[in-house]
Amino acid sequence: MTLLQNLLSSSIASLAILAASPAWAYDFGANPGPSMVFVTQSSCHFCDRLDEQVISPLEASGFFDEQQVDLVRLSIDPGHRVTNFAGEAQSAVQFASQFGAYGTPTLLFFDGQGQLTQAPLYGVPDAIDFYGYKIEQAISDLN
């Protein structure tokens, strides 16, 4: 084998190992504080819109830090896994669906004990300007 063939062969093997490894998204058991979970997936343009126009600006402003709330971007893409509040590993899809997040984008609000504090917020409204206010209200209920 030539050097190039060896490099290509080892690169392909490394990629296969990476593809077979689960993507760990978050350990909820190790982070017991209040959290806002943004359930998203890579093919969701509504998720991108919500993140760019509402969530990232709130994050950049320091809002989540001020409120002492963890912002969790939870991808439900295939292979993504989490450790739930009980310390058990499960797929991100299983975790999200047990709390009513059956599509993306969905926002889930948890208190420090891992309990939902309100019904999930689904989708992106046409009047996205008021969505930031809804998030701020939901987070103020966590504290």
- Could you give the percent of the chain with pLDDT greater than 90? 66
Provide the 8-state DSSP code for 53: I
CA distances from 95 to 25, 81, 132, 134 (A): 11, 9, 25, 23
Mention every residue, 6+ apart, whose C-beta is less than 8 A from residue 74. Answer: 25, 26, 37, 38, 39, 40, 80, 82, 92, 95, 96
- Could you give the percent of the chain with pLDDT greater than 70? 83
Instruction: Please count the other Cβ atoms lying within 10 Å of the Cβ belonging to residue 91.
Output: 16
CA distances from 31 to 61, 133, 137 (A): 22, 25, 22
- pLDDT exceeds 90 at position 18: no
Of 44, 118, 32, nearest in space to 83 by CA: 32
Of 74, 79, 117, nearest in space to 97 by CA: 74
Which band of pLDDT confidence, cut at 50, 70 and 90, is reported for residue 83? very high
* pTM exceeds 0.75: yes
